[in-house]
Amino acid sequence: MQKKQLKNSSTTKRNIAISLPVTGEEEWQAMREPLMSGWITQGPKVAEFEKAFAKRHNAKHALAVTSCTTGLHLALAGLGVSEGDEVIIPAFTWVATANVVLYCNATPVFVDVDPATYNIDIQKIAEKVTDKTKAIIIVHLFGRCVDMDALRNVLPEHVKIIEDAACAAGADYKGQTSGALGDVAAFSFHPRKSITTGEGGMVTTNDDALAETMNQMRNHGATLSEEQRHHGPRPYLLPEFDVLGFNFRMTDMQGAMGIVQLSKLDQFIDERSKWAAYYTEKLESIKWLTLPQPLEGSRHGWQAFVTHVNPDKAPLPRNEIMERLQENGVSTRPGTHAVHMLKYYVENYGFKPEDFPGAQSCNDNTMAIPLHNRMTQEDYDYVISALLEIDSCVE
Ligand SMILES: Cc1ncc(COP(=O)(O)O)c(C=O)c1O
């Protein structure tokens, strides 16, 4: 196929990023307060952010952490996952979902994904459950919640459910918010997510005892927080350290930014939903491109709009399509990766790509196209034109 500039782009070539955070004056002003007061590590702003986040996600407790990765690690550690335990995870997810299991010296047990939803294939879970299975990490990938009713039908009660809700702030399953669908959940505020604090994460749970353990563990295992020590009447107090902890504390500048970002979450998702529907309407004529489907009766978080290029029908291999789009100023990315195909996992566990064919296919053929809250109607139309232009080359 001959390379050319888009002929049907009415304006000049655009540069459309795959994702851009919406940050500005409000976040800047909010972050001034901790900077001026001098309380810059976990303090009142983090506490306010946690309270608002817990309320929005219908969870009893929310604990801010440094990332979703540390949040997942904290959740596993809080549940007592350790050597000899098995943790079930989907094979198509960001590497962190698997790495955190290894940080706890436990064994990740991969299950294939369903390419129609990008989520764990529920029908393949039961065969992987053993008497060593302590937990499952389900991933609401790209913002689409896992089918929880179907999951509970196949999962024994003793297996704890951890939601990797990195992509699913504000999403819901049949009206129940992400973050309160299992035993514990972790969210990400990396800039590619719907709301951001630069880096950062949040853990939510309805379990009082687990919340207390995780609260202690995120602060080195100390029985007293910095705030309790500094604002209490007994200046000589030093905390006790009776569990092995970490330093996963969020800064108060991030907390202040998180409060502002959270207040915009629903507006961001509503806008993304509108444009996801627009893409669906305008791109459904492309026979070689499968578009993401929201789960009926549930709210998709639309962290990303991830398509699947059908290698048998597409005019070009996926990577060449991505290159052509990039040349025309449209950034795309693979959805995410199949963890069992990553070098560390291949070398240490001897996986072959075909061990999880659904994940392999998603690894090789998914393509996220731009969807974020700084795009205009013209930007969306430009992306659509770029894809239709490629489609017009199909024999
Ligand atoms: C599914 C999933 N889990 C975990 C993570 C890790 O999040 P963080 O970068 O906040 O550690 C990501 C980040 O991309 C993710 O997409």
User: Residue 321: in which H helix or E strand, if any?
Assistant: helix 318-327
Ligand 1 center from residue 154 Cα (angstroms): 26
Domain ranges of the chain: 25-263, 265-391
Indicate yes or no: pTM above 0.85: yes
What's the topology of domain 265-391?
Aspartate Aminotransferase, domain 1 (3.90.1150)
Q: What is the pLDDT at residue 11?
A: 59
Profile the chain (395 residues) by mean pLDDT over runs of 10 residues.
Answer: 50 90 98 96 97 98 98 98 98 98 98 98 98 98 98 97 98 98 98 98 98 97 83 84 97 98 98 98 98 96 98 97 97 98 98 98 98 98 97 80
Q: What is the pLDDT at residue 229?
A: 78
Ligand 1 center from residue 233 Cα (angstroms): 40
CB proximity list for 152: less than 8 A, separation 6 or greater:
none
Ligand 1 center from residue 110 Cα (angstroms): 17
The rounded distance, in Å, linking the Cα atoms of 341 and 241 is 40
Q: What is the pLDDT at residue 395?
A: 60
Pocket test for ligand 1, best of 117, 137, 190, 202 (most atoms within 8 A of CB): 190
Active site residue 134: no
- Establish whether residue 382 lines the binding site of ligand 1, counting it when its CB lies within 6 angstroms of any ligand atom: no
The rounded distance, in Å, linking the Cα atoms of 60 and 55 is 8
E runs forming strands in 274-383: 289-290, 305-309, 366-369
Q: What is the pLDDT at residue 159?
A: 98
Answer yes or no: CATH 3.40.50.2300 is held by domain 25-263. Answer: no
